[in-house]
A and B are shown apart, each in its own frame.
Chain A
Amino acid sequence: KAGVTQTPRYLIKTRGQQVTLSCSPISGHRSVSWYQQTPGQGLQFLFEYFSETQRNKGNFPGRFSGRQFSNSRSEMNVSTLELGDSALYLCASRILAGAAYEQYFGPGTRLTVT
Chain B
Amino acid sequence: GQQVMQIPQYQHVQEGEDFTTYCNSSTTLSNIQWYKQRPGGHPVFLIQLVKSGEVKKQKRLTFQFGEAKKNSSLHITATQTTDVGTYFCAGNSGGGADGLTFGKGTHLIIQP
Contacts and interface: CB of A to CB of B under 8 A. Distances in A.
Contacts of A104: 45
Contacts of B63: none
Interface string A56-90: 10110000000000000000000000000000001
B42 interface: yes
A42 B100 contact: no
Interface residues of A, number: 25
Contact of B42 (A41, A42, A44, A107): A107
Given A42-B103, A43-B88, A59-B1, A98 B43 contact: no
Interface string A81-114: 0000000001010000111101111111000000
Contacts of A105: 35, 42-44
B42 A98 contact: no
B80 to A, nearest CB: 23
Given A102-B33, A105-B42, A108-B42, A45 B99 contact: yes
A58 B99 CA distance: 8
